[in-house]
Amino acid sequence: MKTKNNKSRNKSYSVNLRAEAATVLFQILEEGKSARECLPAIQDHLKEQDKAWLQEMVYGVLRNLPILQFWLRKLLDKPLKNRFKIVEHVVMLGFYQLAFSRVSQHAAVSETVAACQALNTIAMKGLVNAILRTFLRENIFEESAPNEQIASGLPKWLFKKLQLEYQAELSNVVKNMQLKAPIWLRVNPIQISAEQYKTKLHQENIEYQTSDQHTNGIILAKGRDVTSLPGFHEGWFSVQDGAAQLAAAYLQPKAGEHILDCCAAPGGKTCHILELQPEITSLYALEVDQTRARRIEENLERLKHKANIIIGDASDPSRWWDNKQFDRILLDAPCSATGIIRRHPDVKWLRKAADIGVLVELQKQILDAIWLTLKPGGTLLYATCSILPEENHQQISQFLSRTHDARLDDSFCHDSVNKPGQQILPGEQQMDGFYYARLVKSAAN
């Protein structure tokens, strides 16, 4: 959807922000692009305060989309089409401001209506104005959601899956998926100790919490631009959720070992392995996408680490593997990312029910293929940022049943018989949803 944003910037900066928020929503919900693709391109020319506002509006609409769509259907006689489709996103943006944000009613209505001009849909200004004023006059925003699924903020297919798997914990899981995720840092002990870094934060009056589970983990009390934190450019820390920080510890790397980080981008876990065990002989970071592999390079460079980056398909080791078996493998498998929806709310609208079976089959292929590259007696740590059973404990159960030389290390399992591995749910100890299973290859006879 092309917009005439350059003209709007000269006339009204606030109008431009709403027009650009609607543009991002259109690209995500109608064109299937991710927020990571859309937001940076638009935010590039903005001041920090406006970047934060734009992201808050976009993510807020995505978190509350079902109820916003419900209200829209009540107040819009028929769906808009073609170049006017973006106006539906303008209206929902207005609803979000009026129902969930601190934006004044006057600004929410007048500036949202004015956004139509920036989007070259000036003919819709009257319609948008009428809908938003009816929304206020009839107190539509006070109406509760008509059912649990709409109240959850989740698409129907995902809500039904969670209902089946997490009956007892459903309300808590749904609630935590809607909350904003805190910013977790992982201090790089090769550059600075955790205690020294905490002192730096104290000196700059930056509030934080710590976690008993994470020696070098820090949870910021408030969201902020991480590049402005002390030591970012010097490589003193990484931004990594607490659940993801468990990967290197669960892998248990030892000095002198030959290790593979499989599906490694953006490189957070690669760097953490090196920080946890600087004396490993070699670490290979495998990534199929060359663009994403550059992120590994950038993180290694900033944190002053070194690893061997391989561009290759994990499901086809014959194209990149040199036949030297690995002592340990971290397989952070491609997945639905349903465990990180609170951090990336676009995921729940980009992911479709039909995608899950495709991902499960890909995970199976990678597991079977990469297992052959592991030494007898070696360890493979399987990880996903998913909370769906078919990608996690069911996937591992099936792998164990067909793989004669694989056994489960159940030292951190919740239920090693029925649900092998460890499932972390969103919000648990302030962490994202994540799954881990540690598999050991039988030693050669």
Contact between 280 and 274 (Cβ < 8 Å): yes
Based on the domain organization, do 206 and 254 belong to the same domain?
no
CATH code, domain carrying 412: 3.40.50.150
Residues annotated catalytic, as ranges: 385
The pLDDT of residue 43 is: 83
**37 found inside a domain:** yes
pLDDT in tens, 181-225: 999 999 999 999 999 999 999 999 999 999 999 999 999 999 888
For residues 233 and 251, state if they share a domain.
no
d(CA 66, CA 72): 10
| Residue 77 CA: distances (Å) to CA of 46, 68, 74, 80, 312 | 36, 15, 8, 9, 51
Instruction: Identify whether residues 250 and 384 lie together within a single domain.
Output: yes
- Range scoring the smallest mean pLDDT among 6-10, 125-129, 133-137: 6-10
Could you give the CA distance from residue 428 to residue 413 in angstroms, rounded to a whole number?
A: 16
pLDDT confidence of 417, banded at 50, 70, 90? low
Q: Are residues 51 and 98 in the same domain?
A: yes
Are 234 and 260 part of one and the same domain?
no
Asked if residue 165 is part of any domain, the answer here is no
Asked whether residue 153 is assigned to any structural domain, the reply reads no
Say yes or no to pLDDT of 416 above 80.
no
Note whether residue 269 is domain-resident.
Answer: yes
Backbone angles phi, psi at 430, to 5 degrees: 65, 20
Q: Select from 146, 169, 201 the last residue of a domain.
A: 146
Position 227 pLDDT exceeds 50 = yes
Do 85 and 97 lie in one domain? The reply is yes
Interatomic CA distance for residues 156 and 160, integer angstroms: 6
Tell me the C-alpha distance between 115 and 23, whole Å.
10
Report, as an integer, the average pLDDT of 257-269: 97
Residues in the chain: 445
The arithmetic mean of pLDDT across residues 318-337, rounded, is 98
Out of 97, 121, 146, pick the residue that ends a domain. 146
- CA–chain centroid gap for 110, Å, is 33
- Flag whether 371 is in a domain: yes
Domain that holds residue 76: 5-146
Q: Which CATH number characterizes residue 85's domain?
A: 1.10.940.10
pLDDT digits (tens, 9 = 90+) for 271-290: 999 999 999 999 999 999 99
Same-domain status, 100 and 48 = yes
How high is the pLDDT of residue 42?
85
Total domain count for the chain?
Answer: 3
- Residues 131, 232 share a domain: no
**Per-residue model confidence as pLDDT tens digits over 142-168:** 988 999 999 999 999 999 999 999 999
Percent of the chain with pLDDT over 90: 89
Mean pLDDT across 257-262: 98
Mind listing the pLDDT tens digit for each residue in 368-404?
Answer: 999 999 999 999 999 999 999 999 999 999 999 999 9
Token pair, residue 90, equals 């303008």
Residue 220's domain is classified under what CATH number?
3.30.70.1170
Task: Please report whether residue 163 resides in a domain.
Answer: no
State residue 445's pLDDT score.
56
Please, are residues 185 and 220 in contact by the beta-carbon 8 Å criterion? Answer: yes
Q: Please indicate, yes or no, if residue 248 is contained in any of the structural domains.
A: yes
| Shared domain check, 386 and 275 | yes
Claim to verify: residue 203 and residue 257 sit in the same structural domain: no
Q: Which two tokens stand for residue 349?
A: 């609208």
Q: Which token pair is 437?
A: 């299973």
Is 94 contained in some domain? yes
Q: Based on the fold, state whether residues 117 and 200 are members of the same structural domain.
A: no
| Same domain membership, residue 255 and residue 402 | yes
pLDDT surpassing 70 at residue 5: no
**Mean pLDDT estimate for the chain:** 94
**Per-residue pLDDT at 109 exceeds 70:** yes
